[in-house]
Amino acid sequence: MGAAHLTAWFAALAIFVLLWQFGEPISKWAFDYPKAWQIPLARWISDAMKWLVNEASFGLFTFTDLTRFIADIVNLPYRLALSLLSTGFLSGQGSSAVQILPPLSWIAVIAVVTLIGYHAGGRRLAAIVAICFGFLAVFGQWQSAMVTLASILVAVPLGVVGGLLLGIAAYRWPRFETALTPILDLMQTIPVFAYLVPILFLFGFGPTAAIVATLIYAMPPMTRITVMALRAVPSEFRDLGNMIGCTRRQMTWRVLVPSAKDSLMVGVNQVIMLSLNMVIIASMIGAGGLGFDVLAALRRLDIGAGLEAGLAIVALAIALDRLSQAYAARAGAPVAPASTGGLVARHPYTVAAVAVILVTGVAGLILPAVQTYPDALKLSTGSFWSNVVGWINVNFFDTFEAVKNAVLLNILIPFKRLLGGLPWLGVTGMLAFAGWRLGGLKLAAIVGVLAFLIAATGQWEKAMITTYLCGISVIFAALLGIPIGILSAERARLWSWVRVIIDTLQTLPSFVYLMPAVMLFRVGDFTAMIAVVAYSIAPAIRYTVHGLMKVDPRLIEAGRAMGCTPFQILTKIKLKLALPEIMLGLNQTIMFALSMLVITALVGTRDLGQEVYIALTKADTGRGLVAGFAVAFIAIIADRLISSGAARTKARLGLV
Amino acid sequence: MPLPAAPCGGFFLLSQTPQTGRMMTASEPKLICRNVWKVFGAGAGEFLGVKDADTSLASLSKAGLVGAVRDVNLEVHAGEIFVIMGLSGSGKSTLVRCLSRLVEPTSGEILFNGENLLAASESRMIEIRRHQMGMVFQHFALLPHMTVLANVAFPLEVQGVDRETREARAKKMIDLVGLSGKENFFPRELSGGQQQRVGIARSLSVEPELWFLDEPFSALDPLIRREMQDEFVRLQSVLKKTIVFITHDFDEAIRLADRIAIMKDGSIVQAGTPEDIVLNPATPYVAEFTRNVPKAKVVKVGSIMRAAKSASGTGATVRERATIAEAAPIFANVDRIGVIDSTGKPVGVLHRDDVVELMMRG
Ligand SMILES: Nc1ncnc2c1ncn2[C@@H]1O[C@H](COP(=O)(O)OP(=O)(O)OP(=O)(O)O)[C@@H](O)[C@H]1O
Ligand SMILES: [Mg+2]
C-alpha cells in the first residue's frame, strides 16, 4: 500500500519534471496559455454589468432603481450619524449651508463611550475606552475618526441584522443553505479589493458605496455564525418550544435566537472588527476618514502622517473590540431585574449620557474648547515619526538594505523565477493528482478545474507571482510562528503574553501593517512580504499552541514513563499528534496571507492584487473580478488540499 | 390502627396511591400506543412497509437503519405514574417523543383520549400540546435570558395569555414547587435541583392532563435526586396527573411507579407493577435489575396476607397496599396484623412468619 502510494507520486513527479525540462520546444502551449483559447470572462462580466445598469429590469422597477433604493437605505442613517458625530446638522446646500445644530462635542462623545464602557465592563474598560478616544482627540485625529465611526455605526447594525436573517433562513430552509454556502465560501476568499470594483461601478464613488461594500464583506461571517449557533442550541430547547406549542416564528425569535445569544454576540464582535477593517480599505472608493488619511500618506510616502492615522485606527479598533467583547461576555451574565424607582434609578446610564450631551452642547456654544478639541493642545507625533524614520535610515540604511538585498537575491528572486517557469499544464496536472491522492476524484476535479480556469482566463502569470509571494511569506510565518507556538505551549507565562500580542495584532485592520514595513524598507516585494508575514503569523502560533495543548496528557505521561527525554516527548509524541492542528493553522496562515497580499498592491507588487487595484482605479469590473476570482481559486485550492491532508493525517493517527 | 397519614412526604403518597391505583384500573386508558415503530435512517418507511420484513436489530442495522423504538404497545391510565425504564440508548427518549409527536413515529398508532395523534393536523397538535401536555427535560432547558418567573410563565405567554394572569399563575406554580422568593433569579443563579423545580413548575403552568418527564432527576446529585423524588411524590399526591416518567435508574422506577415498562434495544421486555417485576422477572435481563432490590420494599401487604373476612384478634391494622417494609415495624410487639383495604374494610391478616420469610429471601 505504502509502496504503491510512493510509486504513484514518483511517477507523477517524473512526468511533471519531463514536461517542465523538455516539453517547451514541443508544446509551447503547455507553458504559455494561448491567447486564442482564452475565455473572455472579463469582457462578459463587464458586458453583464453594463446590461445590468442600463437595461436590466424586474418589471416594476429597473436594476438601477434597486441600487438607488439600497443607496437610500444606507444613506439616510449615514447622513444622520455623520451629522451627529462630525458635521452637525446643516440647512441648505454646499458652501451656503448653515449649521443649525453643532455635532456632539468631543467631550460628549468621550463621556458617552466611557459610560458604555463602564456599563459593559466596569471601571477598567471605561478607562481603556476613554484613553483610546482621548488619544484620537489629543493627536488631532478626531475629525477623521468620527467619519470612520459614523460609517461603522451604520454598517454594523445593518450587517448584524442582515447576517442574522440570512443565517436564520439558511437554518430553516436547507435548500437555501445549500445555495448560500458556496457563495459565502467565495465571498470570504475573494480579496476585498475585488468587492470594491463592481460596487464602485454600481454605486459610484463615495461613502454610500463604501458602506455597501462593508456590509457585503462583514455579513458572511455573521451568517455562518448564526447558522452554527442555531444548530448548537441543544435539542431540548427545540423540544421545549414544540412541547409548549410555539409557532415557527415564536420558536425562532422566542426560543432559538435568545438561547443562542452568547454565540451570536461573538458574531457581532466579528462584524464590528470586519467592518472597521473594510471601512478603512473602502477609503479607496470614497469612505473618507482614517483610511483615507493612511492611503493619502502612503501615496505621498509621508510616513509620519500615515503612522499617526494608523495608530488612531489601532485605538479605535481596540476600543470597539473591547466594548463588543465585554458585551458578548455580559450576554451570558444575568442582568439585575429592573428596579422600580424613578427615571434616574431605572435608566441611570441613559440619563447620565443625555445630561452630558445637553450640558456640553450648551457649554460648547459659549466655550469653543468644549465643542471642538482646541488646536493649541493637540500633539503631533508626525514629525517625530518622520525624524525616527530619518534617523533609522541614516544609521541603519546600509544594514537594512543589505538584509533586504540578500533575501531578495538569494531567496525571493530565484523562487519567483522557478515558479514563473513552470508549465501551467504540468502544475494543473500535479494539483489534480494531489487532489486525487488526498481526497479522491471529486477533489481532483475541483482542484484541476479551478487551476485550469486561472490559466484559461489569462491570469496564470500573475497568479504565479501571487503564489510565490504568498508561499514565501507563509514559509517565513511558519518558520517563525511554529517555534514560537512550541515555546509558548510549554510556558504558561510566555503564552499569556504572546496571546495578548497576537489577539491585539488580529484586531488591527490589515492596512495598518503596511506602515511600519514601508517605513523601514520602502516599496517592493520585500516590504510586501514583511507585512504579509506580520499579518499572517498569528494563526500559525495559535493553532500550534492549541494543537500541542490538546495532546492527551496520558500519552505524555506514558512517554515519560517509558523514559523519553523532554525533546523526544516533544518530537515523537506531541508534535506528531498535533500535526493535523498545525496543518489547519498553516491553512489559516495561507488564507490570511492571501488577503493581506492583495492589499500590498499599494506598495507596488506585480501580482493579482495589483491587477485588482488597477481595475479599481479604472472601475473596470470585469478585469477586477477575474483577477479576484483567481485569488479566490488559489485560496480554495490550498484550502481543500490542506484540509483533506489534515483529515487524512488525523485518521492515520487515530484522532477522529 | 391505620398508618398515620403524614401531611407530606413519602408516607402520604403511600396511603394515597392505592386509591388512585384502584381508580385507574377501572378508568379508560388516557394514552394508548399500538405497534409504534421509530426507525432512523433513509428509507425506513419502505423497509417496514414490506410485508413480513425481517425487523431484527441486525437486519435493520445492515440496511443502515437504527431501530430506536420497535413495536411498542402500552396503555397509560388516568392518574397513574407510568415509568419507562431502560439503559442508555434503549430508546426511552425517542419513545416519549413519539408519544408527544415531537418525533414522527415511522409507523403505529397513538391514541390520546381516544384521538389518533398521528392523524392530527399541525395546528391541532399545537393546540393539544399547549393545553393538554407538559414535559420536563433532563437538562432542564430553562431559557437563560429569562427570570424564573418569566420561564415559568413562558408557555402561557406563547399562548397569548395576558401578563397579569400568566404571572399570577406562574407565581402559584413557583410556590407549589417551593421556590417562592426566587421569582426574579436567573436560571444560572440556581442549583441543579432548584433549576429542575423551575422546569417542573413551567411544565405544570398550563395544567396539563398528561405529564411527560424525561429523566428529570438524572442530572442531579444522588442526595438532591432523593429529595426531588420525594418532592415529586408529594406533588403528584396533590395533582393526580397522568404521568409518563422516564428513568434509567431502577431504584427510582421502583420508588415512584404505579407501573413500570422495561425497555431494551427499542422494545419493551416487560411491563407491570413494581411488585410484579420484582417477584416475577420475565427475562434474565430484567432479573439482573431486580436482583439487588430488597423485596420487602416492593412487595405489598396484600400479596402475602392470608385472606380473612374479619381482622379479629389483631390490634393494629395496615392497608393492603402498604409495603412489607412499612408494615414490619408494627410486628415489634404483635404476631399478626389486620389488613384493611382503602375503604377501611378488613380483607385479611398478615402473619409475622410470612413477613420474616420474605425478608430472609432478600
Ligand atoms: N435523530 C436521530 N438519528 C439517528 N439515530 C438516533 C436519533 N435519535 C436517537 N437515535 C438513536 O436511537 C437510539 C435510542 O436513543 P434514545 O435517545 O431514545 O435513547 P435513551 O434511552 O433516551 O438513552 P439515554 O438514556 O442516553 O437518554 C440510540 O441508538 C440513538 O443513537
Ligand atoms: Mg434519553
Closest ligand 1 atom, residue B95 Cα: 18
Closest ligand 1 atom, residue B97 Cα: 18
Q: Tell me the ipTM for this assembly.
A: 0.82
Q: What is the predicted pLDDT for the residue at B96?
A: 94
b/e burial code for range A265-295 (CB count within 10 A of at least 16 → b): bbbbbbbbbbbbbbbbbbbbbbbbbbbbbbb
Residue ranges and CATH numbers for the domains of chain B are 7-29+75-100+126-293 (3.40.50.300), 296-360 (3.90.1280.20)
C-alpha to C-alpha distance for B68 and A66, rounded to whole angstroms: 52
Residue of the CA atom closest to atom 30 of ligand 1: B89
Q: What is the predicted pLDDT for the residue at A345?
A: 67
Q: What is the predicted pLDDT for the residue at B311?
A: 59
In angstroms, how far is the first alpha carbon of chain B from the final one? 28
Residue of the CA atom closest to atom 24 of ligand 1: B88
pLDDT single digits (tens) A318-336: 898 888 888 877 755 545 5
Q: What is the predicted pLDDT for the residue at B6?
A: 39
Across A134-247, the runs of DSSP E, i.e. the strands, are none
pTM, two decimals, is 0.80
Nearest by CB to residue A245, choosing from B126, B139, B189, is: B126
CATH architecture designation of domain A385-421+457-652: Orthogonal Bundle (1.10)
- Given an 8 Å threshold on Cβ–Cβ distance, is B143 in contact with A334? no
pLDDT single digits (tens) B222-244: 888 888 899 898 889 888 899 99
* Average confidence (pLDDT) over B89-99: 93
Q: What is the predicted pLDDT for the residue at B132?
A: 93
Task: List chain A residues with pLDDT less than 70.
Answer: 1-3, 26, 29-30, 92-96, 331-346, 655-656
Residue A642: how many CB atoms within 10 A of its CB? 19
C-alpha to C-alpha distance for A286 and A264, rounded to whole angstroms: 31
Residue B248: which H helix or E strand, with range?
Answer: none
Q: What is the predicted pLDDT for the residue at A341?
A: 60
Kindly tell me if the per-residue pLDDT of B16 is higher than 70: no
Q: Where are the alpha helices (DSSP H) in chain B?
A: 10-26, 44-49, 57-62, 92-99, 122-132, 148-159, 163-176, 192-204, 222-239, 250-256, 274-279, 284-290, 301-304, 324-327, 352-360
Closest ligand 1 atom, residue B94 Cα: 18
Residue B14 pLDDT grade (very low, low, confident, very high; cuts 50, 70, 90): very low
Place of cell 388516568: B78
Q: What is the predicted pLDDT for the residue at A512?
A: 79
Q: Domain segments of chain A: what residues?
A: 69-79+143-316, 385-421+457-652
C-alpha to C-alpha distance for B197 and B170, rounded to whole angstroms: 12
Contact of A236 with chain B, judged by CB distance below 8 Å, is answered with yes
Q: Do domains A69-79+143-316 and A385-421+457-652 have the same CATH topology?
A: yes
Q: What is the predicted pLDDT for the residue at A331?
A: 59
pLDDT single digits (tens) B99-148: 999 999 999 999 999 999 999 998 999 999 999 999 999 999 999 889 99
CA atoms within 13 A on the CB side of B3: 29
Q: What is the predicted pLDDT for the residue at A335?
A: 52
> Which residues surround ligand 1 with Cβ inside 6 Å?
B 40, 66, 68, 86, 88-94, 248
Q: What is the predicted pLDDT for the residue at A22?
A: 74
Which of A106, A73, A204, A86 is CA-nearest to residue A148? Answer: A86
Q: Which amino acid is at A211?
A: I
A69-79+143-316: in CATH 1.10.3720.10: yes
CA distance B298 to chain A (A): 33
C-alpha to C-alpha distance for A508 and A506, rounded to whole angstroms: 5
Are the CB atoms for B203 and B124 separated by under 8 Å? no
Contact of B135 with chain A, judged by CB distance below 8 Å, is answered with yes
pLDDT single digits (tens) B305-322: 888 777 566 678 888 878
pLDDT single digits (tens) A404-449: 888 888 888 888 888 877 888 888 888 888 898 888 889 899 999 9
